[in-house]
A = this chain, B = another copy of it.
Amino acid sequence: MDVHSGFIGATEDQLRAAHERDLAIEAAEGAHVERAWLDPDSGKVFCLSSGPSKEAVLRVHEKAGHPTTESYELPVEVE
């Protein structure tokens, strides 16, 4: 899970465009950004991704133009 800040007032179209930039380049890192959620009031975006490492996913975000340093590996999941 990657957390991005500063997206206050962002729209669904803007989130989709950012996500599509990830999707366009993620294969080079062997990663996949699965879902992204936006809170336009706080400007937070949460991205759920899979890949070989946290660093690989962060490189995707950086190359796509929306770098972050806040990332968490989540080896445990329950439903």
Q: Residues on A close to B: CB < 8 A?
A: 1, 10-12, 15-16, 19, 34-42, 44, 46, 72-79
Contacts and interface: CB of A to CB of B under 8 A. Distances in A.
Contact of A46 (B16, B19, B74): B74
Contact of A1 (B12, B37, B77, B78): B37
A78 B42 contact: no
A12 B46 contact: no
Contact of A77 (B38, B40, B75): B38
Contacts of A72: 37, 39, 42, 44, 46
B73 A1 contact: no
A35 B78 CA distance: 6
